[in-house]
Structure formats: structure tokens, C-alpha cells
Chains A and B, each alone.
Chain A
Amino acid sequence: MKKQIHLRVNGMERALEVAPRTTLLDAVRDQLGLTAAKLGCDIQVCGACTLLVNGKPVSACSYLAVDADGSEVLTTEGLGANGELHPLQEAFMDLGALQCGYCTSGFLLTAKALLDENPRPSDVEIRDYLGGNFCRCGCYQEIMQAIKSVAGG
């Protein structure tokens, strides 16, 4: 039994037919073709699937699409605006905050949510807020630097 839901994804109204147990991650990836968010652990631990729902980071691997009905969803594809990259995207590139890139979408969106809530976070606040995002390539120092460079600006 499918249910129709309405999402505003990256600023665009979308109507989707989803099964009650379809995850938001699957809906966005499979139905909307927005594949920046990745499935990593499937149990809300690694952060690779992070999306912003009404501005707050969620683990989309474990968040039902029906629960997002009526919500604003931001994916990394929608992070830039007016043909410009988001400052976090620029900082991640300039400071080398990624290697394989599989975790990057999750880090960018989580960092954006952090800076929206708390424009000048301390090191400890950054560590706490991004503690649920894994980077196995180990770019943590560069990620810290990148977020701080944007926060400081």
C-alpha cells in the first residue's frame, strides 16, 4: 500500500509515492536520483546518509519517508546557490577535507546544520556535533580546519 507524500527538496516541490517502510534515503536516491547521500552502516552510526529535514540533520537510512511528509529536505546537490558553491564546499576543497569522498555529503550537511545553529562553535562543539560522522580516510583534522575557516568568516 503506497502513500503519497509531499516534500520540498532543495527548494522544489515534489510529490512521491512511497511504501510505508521506504526510507527517506531510498526515496531521495531511487526516486529523485539525488545520490550524494550514501548508505554506509544502515544503522544511524556513520553519518554518510545524512540529510537535512527542516534544517536538522537526520540519518536518512533510518528515517521513514512518510515521516518527512510536508517537510523541507536539503541534500548536498542543493547546497550551493545561484551557481555558486556553498562556502563549506569551497573550504573542504581548499583545506583537503576529503579523500575518497564517500562521507563528504554527510559531513557537509551536518556542518551546515551546526553553523546554522551555532555560527561560532568551539572545537569541542564541532567534535560533539560531528561525532556521528565517520571518515575512514581520516581527514578529521582537515574537516575541523575547514569548518572553523567558514565559522570564522
Chain B
Amino acid sequence: MSGIKQMEPADIGKTFRRLDYETKVTGRAQYLADMSVAGMCHGKILRSPYPHARIVRIDASKALKIPGVVATLTRDDILNHPAIDPYYGPVFKDQTIVAVEKVRHVGDPVAAVAALDLDAAEEALRSIEVDYEELPAVLNVGDALKPGAALVHDSVKVPESGFADLAELKPVEGTNVCTHFRLNRGDVQKGFAESDRIFEDTFTLPAAQHSFLETHACIASVEPGRRITVWATTQNPFVVRTQLANIFKVPVSKVRVVVPYLGGGYGGKVYPKIEPITVALALKAGRPVRLVLTREEVFYTITKHAAVIRMKTGVKNDGTLVARECEIHLDTGAYAEIGPRVAKKSGYTAAGPYKIPNLKIDSYSVYTNKPPAGAFRGFGVSQSAWAVESQMDIVAAALKLDPLALRKQNGYDEGDKFVTEETLRAVGLKKCLDEVAQSIEWGKREEITGANVRRGKGLACMIKATITPSISSAVVKLNEDASLSIYTGTVEMGQGSETVLAQIAGKELGIPIETIQVLGVDTDVVPYDLTTSSSRSTFHMGKAVQLAAQDIKNQLKQIVVRDFGIPAEQIEVAGGKIRLPESVIEYKDAMSKRFGMQGGTLVGEGQVKTSTKNEFGEKSTSAFWFLAAGAAEVEVDVETGKLRLVKYATAVDVGKAINPLGCRQQLAGAAITGIGQALFEEIAYDNGQLINPNFIDYVIPSLGDMPPVIDPISVEVPDPSGPFGAKGIGESALIPVAPAIANAVFDAVGVRIKDLPIKAEKIFLALRDKDESGR
């Protein structure tokens, strides 16, 4: 078509209309709950009403008498089944497909049914008889750690091989300590002795929920020969494939995981969620089963870790940070899930983005009888940063230092050593700080707008790592008309990965984005990728796609050498053409020559495998570094404590903004979730019962909660290993929000909120206490 010739080649640093948009705005995009397969029946889960109880008896026999009920699933179906290992979990095998001996949280799956329609399935759930013996429950980390506390797990199965970065972390037998991560640097006692001032504070934050509008869903089919196919709402299809292969004792080649567009992920769709129970039901039913969770069930499936953080910091009078002792307790709920890594990342970042020579950090994930906590955008760093960045302003106020200057005085620069003693590279921290400070006119006092209203400004910053080591592989196919197909395991969950990957491949090959198709994820088809999380896809998969495109360019060059007889050194593949000294050859003409007709495919491959050693030969915990800052301007009503966010600025070191509008979306979007968690999001429990598992009682931000201005700023300090210098950006902007707002509240009215969320009543009570103590 002549139209193709008029299209411009893809580029980097230019906003392209996203490739997933047209199908989404027309309502044609198929999400999992929109899909069905022939012969499918509907699954439902019976869940525990108790936080901790022994299952004395379970009898599902009446369910099968209900018309339309196809299968039931209880512990009797998974125990002693020769082809099922009922135990699984990403780090420890402490989860079971359905409860075996006891239930460990309200909402723990006890049984499941499959029926021809949902009404029959629901009736079947009501017919299942379960006798429980209630057990004492531990409902917060404080109680869970008391001597003699009830144990959530009597013992935990530790798999023989697991994640390399978590190998040293094990449950502490006879306690509820799931893992204990330690980091020691220098001599912390000596450091405190050398300090002029010592600050000791405890910060807390509650559990939160990802609140993707699309609940977890799965369709599973087990064909004869134990060929398992699942359509899953997962961010890491290859991990789900491995876990299903282990549970159902088949080679990974027998498990196919297909992932449609996700209606949001934010960390809440990593690792197996409802896939094991759906496959077990499908196996028992002998036909495909679809399971779609209700909103309430999502709250029982995964949460963000609540935390208690005790932080003691020694400082010189000039503001130099000298020593820190920090104890972090993360409430990981009833199952480890990925909590051990969350706790490790919290520990690594308990020094914040600051040079502190003496450290003693202890970070625990702790079992409790609550729904499991796992990955959440920010992955442990939003917990540690709440403490780090709040205390920085406590220090600044006490020493009468400017909070911005204090951060820049202690903050990381290029070449500084991280707490792990590895050298930091491409560090845009101070640029981010300067950008947000400028955006909110830091240092300028704003006019007071009402008699009882005070204005204040606050800022915060952060450093975060990406999962390392990890693997991403990509395959690209150059078709006979020089159009391109891209095969990757990166899940499009809203972050815009399809478009970014197409831009990278298109730029490398000099072809228009309109000629590129990014295929959906199907583990039977696409090569391995570890996960779409940890803000890693642009950096890792982007690079893999770039390498695959370069592979194609090399193959085109080889064709011209072999089939056109031109010496290699005279050939350049650039700008979408094969350039010779005197002429140019179109890609499609080279292919016709090679294949002898208009047909054939060139297959390019790219692999990225990050290492535990960096370019300096040091132990590496992160293939690249996230740096970011945020700044808030607030108004506080001193009569009521009511807080109004006037402006929020967020700056993230993106390395290189491949799709600038896409970067702004990710930055502002993460900041908005951060605003929700800073101001009102909180999962509430009453005696172990989760009392707000719905969007009326668990409130997420809507348009009315937006400040008049959110200013997303992309700072570009390129990372030499990233595609065109790009880094990951998905999580960074969320992390500084809560402390930036708390710091702004302090600036406005002089009260320090140390417990999230920052609700009006907390400010009101703190103001009252301040007044009373001032009298």
C-alpha cells in the first residue's frame, strides 16, 4: 500500500498514539472476564469465616446433588493425589490449593465448586458442611512476636531451590517470624557516639489494596494427557507456568499460560493467585472452568504490607547523617507470598538515598492471621521511605536546616556506594529534587487564603532497586513485506509496554510503528520473561527487543553479502534501508532475493540476563537504579484538621523518555495512588474480620480528590545499559507522596503525623495536643 510509504519511521523521545488504544476506546479489547471457551463452567470458592481455625470435618457431598453442579474440590481431592503437590508459594511452600489442616485468615479458600451456572455454584457453596475448631489468632505483628503467641504455621516447607536473592532467608522455627533480613555497615554504636543529636521515632502505615478495577480471573482447561491451558490475569505468566507445572507434576511444556490485556496490576497480579485452584477444579470437572473473583474476594487474596518502623538516627549539628539503627516489621499475613523479598527491599532502602556510614538494619516479614500481603507498586520502599523521609524533616526542623538542602547534602551522587557497597550509576536524585522544588516554588511562602487556613510545602525523595538477576528474551519476525511482529512475555497491563517496545524495534530497524504488531502473551509462543513488575520491562525487555532488531539487521547484511555479493564492510543497515556505496536495497527486496519469492521470515532473537556482578566487578543487587522526588503543597484548616492538597509535583529519573506522554501517565498515575494511600486508603480489621472489602468503605481517589495541579516531570540521566538510555519508571512516583504530604502538613501547622493515612482527625487531634502542651 502506498500509505505505508508515507508513514514516518518510529522514533524515541516522541509521543506515539498507543497501540492498545483503539481497541480499548471502542470497547473491543477482550479482558479475561469478557472471554469464554466452549464447554466452560463456572467456579466459586468457599472461604473461611474465621481468622484461625482447625478444620475438623468437611463434607461437600450434598453439593453434587444440586442440579448443574459439576465438581467439588476439598482437601480430600488434593491430599494423597499422586499427580498433585498441594503445596506451593513463590518463596516458601506454605500455601495450599484449598485449606488442608487449618484456615489461617478470614477468606482463606476452604473448598471450591464448578457448576453450569453461577446460581448453582453459589447454592452448592451453601451446601458444603464444615466444622471448625477456632484457634487463638495473632492479628498484628506485635501480638505475633510475643513469646507463646499462637503460631500461624507450625512448620514451613522451604523448597530446595528458589530465588537466588532470597536463598539466605528462612522462617524462624517456633515463631511467627517469616524472614529476618539483616544489613550491617560500619559501627553503629560508634556512629551514635560521634553524633551530636540522636532522633528516634516510630512510623506506622496500614495495609492497602491494589484496587485494580479488573478483579483476578482465570479460565482453566485440562485436556486429556494433562495438557493444561490457563487464561490468567497475571503479571508473570512464566512464574505461573512453573508453579502450575510443579503443583500438577507435569513438564512446563505441558502448561500454557495466555494473558490478555490486564485491567491493572500494580503488583497485585504477580505470582500464582487463583490459577492453582482453577486448574484443580478444571481437572476434577473434566471441562474448562472460569473463575472470576468478586471485589470482596480480591481483598482476601492480596494486600500491601502494613508496617511498623522504628528508626533511630545519629546526626552531626551540620546535618551530616552518621548512623542509623532501624527495625522494620512488615505484616505479611497468613502466607509468605513474596513478603520475604518485600522485607529485604525495605531493609535495603532504610537508609534512603543517603550516604550513612554506620547502619544496623533489621527487617522482618511476620506471619499473622490476616490475608496475605505481597507485592505492591513500590515493593517495600514505600514503607521504608515513609519513615526515612518523615524523619529527614524531623531532623531538619530540629537543626533548623532547609529540608531540601539537608537531602542534597546527604544524598547520593554518581559513583557513590549504595549500602551494599556497590557503585551507583546514572543517579538523577538531585536533579529530581531540584525539579520538584522548582515546580512548587520551594522557599516561597504562599498567601494565606482563609482565617483558619495555613499553607505548607514538603518534599521527599527515594531510591529503589529492580529485581536482579533476571531474564528477558524477545523474538522479532521480519515479514516478507518488511513489517515486523514482536513476541515477548511482557504483559500489557496499562503501562504502555506494547508501544514502547514497538518504538524501540521500529527505531532500530527504521520502520514505521504502524507496520509493527506486538503480539499478546502466550507462553507456548513467546520466549521466557521473568516478570512484568519491578519497573523492569522497558529496561530489560526493551533492550531484548533492541537486540533482536539488531539481529535482524545483521541477517539482512548477511543476505546482501551472500546473495548480492557485496563485501560486508561496504554495507550499512540504517534508516529502514540497506545502504551500499552506490545504491540502496529495500528490506523486502533483500528478502525476495534470499527466499526466491515474496515470502519467508527472518527471525531475530534478543536476550538480556542481568548479573549479580556489576561492571565494576562488585556484587550487584540492581541492574539499574530508580531515583525520584515528590513535592506537595497543602492547605490545612486549623479548626478542623481538614487537609487540601493544592499541588503535587513528581520528578522521576526515567533515563530516557521513550514515549514522553506515556512517562507522564505513569508518573502522575503512580502519584495519584500515592495520594490515596497518603490521605485515606486503609484496610480495616475488627478481630481479624476485614470490615471494608468494598469500594464504599475502602475509598480510592476519584476526580474530586485530585489537586488542581499534578506536575509529572521526566528527568533524563541515561543508563548506558538501558535501551537508548531508558530506565524503568512504574513505581518511583508513588513512593515519595506520603512523606512529602506529611512534611507539608508539618510546614503548614507544625504537627507531625507518623501514622498513615493522614486523616483530618489525626491532624485535628495533633493540633489539639500541641495547643494543650503549649499552654
Contact = CB atoms under 8 A, between A and B. Distances in A.
6 nearest CB pairs, A to B: A36-B27, A100-B494, A102-B263, A138-B672, A138-B669, A101-B24
20 contacts: A36-B27, A38-B263, A41-B295, A42-B295, A45-B694, A77-B27, A92-B25, A93-B17, A98-B21, A99-B496, A100-B213, A100-B214, A100-B263, A102-B31, A102-B214, A102-B264, A131-B702, A134-B211, A138-B670, A139-B668
Nearest to A89: B25
A147 B704 CA distance: 15
Interface string A83-110: 0010001001110101111111100100
Contacts of A41: 213, 295, 694-695
Contacts of B26: 36, 76-77, 79-80, 85, 89
A81 B328 CA distance: 57
A103 B206 CA distance: 26
A23 interface: no
B702 A42 contact: no
B55 interface: no
Contacts of A136: 210-213, 264, 266, 673, 700
Contacts of A58: none
Nearest to B34: A35
Interface in B451-490: none
Residue among A43, A140, A142 having the largest count of chain B Cβ atoms under 10 Å: A140
B513 interface: no
**Interface size classification for chain B:** 35 or more
Given A96-B662, A108-B25, A140-B706, A43 B20 contact: no
A140 B701 CA distance: 10
Interface in B633-668: 661-662, 664-666, 668
A142 to B, nearest CB: 7
A115 interface: no
Given A79-B26, A100-B265, 4 more contacts: A40-B295, A41-B295, A102-B214, A139-B665
Contacts of A93: 17-18, 21-22, 25
B213 A99 contact: no
Nearest to A130: B703
Q: Is the interface of A mostly helix, strand, loop or mixed?
A: loop
Interface of B: 15, 17-18, 20-22, 24-31, 33-34, 210-215, 261-266, 294-295, 493-496, 661-662, 664-666, 668-673, 694-696, 700-704, 706, 710
A32 to B, nearest CB: 12
Given A85-B25, A100-B263, A102-B264, A46 B669 contact: no
Nearest to A42: B295
Contacts of B669: 99, 137-139
Contacts of A141: 668, 706, 710
A96 B27 contact: no
A98 B672 contact: no
Nearest to B23: A101
B628 to A, nearest CB: 16
Given A77-B26, A101-B263, A133 B212 contact: no
Contact of A96 (B211, B664, B671): B664
Nearest to A88: B25
Interface residues of A, number: 51
A126 B213 CA distance: 21
Contact of B212 (A75, A96, A102, A140): A102
Contacts of A38: 31, 33, 213-214, 263
A55 interface: no
Contacts of B700: 134, 136
Interface of A: 29, 34-43, 45-46, 48, 75-77, 79-80, 85, 89, 92-94, 96, 98-105, 108, 126-128, 130-134, 136-144
Nearest to B119: A19
Contact of B695 (A43, A75, A92, A126): A43
B668 A138 contact: yes
Nearest to A103: B213
B213 A46 contact: yes
Given A38-B33, A77-B26, A104-B24, A96 B665 contact: yes
A61 B18 CA distance: 30
A90 to B, nearest CB: 8
A140 B672 contact: yes
Nearest to B711: A141
Contacts of A142: 665, 668
B677 to A, nearest CB: 12
A146 to B, nearest CB: 10
Contacts of B266: 136
A75 B27 CA distance: 9
A107 B17 CA distance: 19
Contacts of A98: 21, 24-25, 494
Contacts of A79: 26-27
A34 B695 contact: no
